[in-house]
């Protein structure tokens, strides 16, 4: 089952469907197959009661679907928080409009890798709103360029914090290795040292998705920019 969710600013509703208001957002989710819709109106208090109701509707194998990251959360931290709740319910997240004309589906390893890359880019600045500014000579745009795995580098142990963080967000070990540019063996070793069960069963299922992720990362891979 697809559960549709929107969190829209109050001022966006005044423009109506002609300006991308509520009707257009609803129609997009219904056309994508959403069987139920839950809508929060953001009045600046941070409350999202309809999100809690939408999460309660989800069962194992279901998915929450939204139009864009802006209609789900206001920060990367908020986006990751929603995804954590979905993972706990064994559900996935679908975003219809991502940079580069792509969609995001965390039921796929590519989608989990993209979400993991966002968590990695956000780093320790969790919860801070993403700035809406144009790139300039003083502020270089951040470009996400996945590295190719070249075996076990000598410094793999120094990436332990990033490995465990991505794993906690639901990213598979093979996707962690591709995102961080370290060997899969190093990822398994770090996870086993942290008390996480070895994921060697995934080793035979690796498929290269660097081209798709790189196309999504073209320019500044910042889904919260340009609102």
**Mean pLDDT across 7-35:** 75
Residue 59, burial from CB neighbour count under 10 angstroms (0-12, 13-18, 19+): exposed
Question: Helical H runs in the chain?
Answer: 10-13, 22-31, 49-57, 76-88, 109-122, 160-168, 173-180, 184-193, 210-216
**SS3 (DSSP) at 30:** helix
Residue 185, burial from CB neighbour count under 10 angstroms (0-12, 13-18, 19+): middle
Predicted pLDDT at 135: 42
User: Tell me: the pLDDT tens digits for 37-76?
Assistant: 999 988 878 788 999 999 999 999 999 999 998 889 888 8
Q: 2-9 and 36-42 as β-strands: parallel, antiparallel, unpaired?
A: parallel
**SS3 (DSSP) at 94:** strand
Domains of the chain with CATH codes: 2-97 (3.40.50.1390), 108-127+143-227 (no CATH)
User: Tell me: the pLDDT tens digits for 67-100?
Assistant: 998 889 888 888 899 999 999 999 999 999 887 7
């Amino acid at each position: 089952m697809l559960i549709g969710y929107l969190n829209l600013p109050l001022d966006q509703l005044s423009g109506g469907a002609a300006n991308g208001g509520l009707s257009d957002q609803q129609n997009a989710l219904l056309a994508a197959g959403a069987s139920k819709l839950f809508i929060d109106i953001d009045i600046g208090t941070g409350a999202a009661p309809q999100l809690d109701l939408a999460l309660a509707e989800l069962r194992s194998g279901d998915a929450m679907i939204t139009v864009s990251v802006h209609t789900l959360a206001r920060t990367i931290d908020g986006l990751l928080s929603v995804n954590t709740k979905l993972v706990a319910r064994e559900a996935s997240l679908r975003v219809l409009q991502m940079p580069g004309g792509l969609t995001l589906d965390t039921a796929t390893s590519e989608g989990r890798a993209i979400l993991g890359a966002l968590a990695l880019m956000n780093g320790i600045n969790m919860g801070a709103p993403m700035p809406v500014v144009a790139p300039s000579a003083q502020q270089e745009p951040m470009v996400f360029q996945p590295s190719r795995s070249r075996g076990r580098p000598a410094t793999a142990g120094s990436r332990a914090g990033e490995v465990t963080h991505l794993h906690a967000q639901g990213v598979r070990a093979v996707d962690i290795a591709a995102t961080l540019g370290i060997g899969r063996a190093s990822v398994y070793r770090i996870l086993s040292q942290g008390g996480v069960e070895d994921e060697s069963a995934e080793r035979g299922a690796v498929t290269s998705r660097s081209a798709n992720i790189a196309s999504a990362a073209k320019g500044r891979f910042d889904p919260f920019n340009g609102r």
